[in-house]
Amino acid sequence: MAVLSYIEAARLALAEEMRRDPMVWAVGEDLGRGGVFGQYKGLIDEFGADRISDAPISESCIMGAAVGAAMMGTRPIVEMRFSDFALCAVDELVNQAAKARYMFGGQTRVPLVVREPIGMWRSSAAQHSQSLEAWYAHIPGLVVAVPSTPADNRALLKAAIRCDDPVVFMEHKNLWPLEGEVPDNDEVGTFGKARTVREGSDLTIVTWSACVHTAAQAAETLANEGIETDLIDLRTLWPWDREAVFHSVGRTGRLLVAQEAVSVAGFGAEIAATVAEHMHGALKAPVRRLGAPRIPISYAPVLEDEVRVTKDAIAAAARKMVNDR
């Protein structure tokens, strides 16, 4: 095991895959100087400007060129800088990349990775702070990955690069400095396989991305009160590990879904509805979900904090579910 930060783990994965496969390359704004967050720092020195490619400020042009390159046999990694900016290229991703394999009867494929940093970060305000993962989970043809740890950031990015379908790879900006153990071997992640963070018998909490760590803090608080939670990190939202969630809820009888994204039409609603439809007989309490209100994210830290899903909010919701017998 090596101890790496979340950002270092992804950079390692990209370098390893570029060494393994000469068809892997990256394109986006400011990649030559290492990327806006340093995700590509030093890679141009090893791989050159042809494979760590700087692009003009035109997200639709970047995405469109990468989709065409993927259909011609290369494996592009598209850097969108912020998930908010990727909306400028949503037609190329949603109407072209996601549908090409189906519309051409399997005669082509689009092995494309779109890196979209998500989430609230340092008072970045309404246009740089959104968590839009539910948009892409809604689109047939797209894989959606939301890693929460350095180990998963490396393993799932490697899986995304090797995937023959377009993958929207959503890394939370607040996780960049997070450090953790990363296997020294060439581990490749598996889409649709959740991780059990901790085990308990009173309540299941399902979450993903940075909210995993918030929920883990809440679970610690609850454990000190005698409430034991099963905490599940989905890792990917499409495909998502329904069986892991069903198995857990079957034991605990209670489900709380937590997400940083706006609660209205968020992916948490999909999980809640699926469990309610398939496991209503096993439930001891109505399914509960937590998410942000449907308002823009403010620049002011005090207002930004008002929309956060906090460890205290998760603990309070879980406590109420267990104690309201």
Catalytic positions, written as ranges = 128
Distance, CA of 294 to CA of 178 (rounded, Å) = 28
Distance, CA of 182 to CA of 184 (rounded, Å) = 6
Closest C-alpha to 89, from 153, 146, 35, 132:
132
How many CA atoms within 13 Å lie on the side-chain side of 119? 21
Distance, CA of 169 to CA of 114 (rounded, Å) = 6
Distance, CA of 113 to CA of 26 (rounded, Å) = 9
Q: What is the DSSP letter of 58?
A: -
Q: What stretches of the chain show up as alpha helix (H) in DSSP?
A: 6-20, 43-47, 59-71, 90, 98-103, 133-137, 150-162, 211-224, 242-252, 267-278, 301-304, 311-323
How many CA atoms within 13 Å lie on the side-chain side of 80? 29
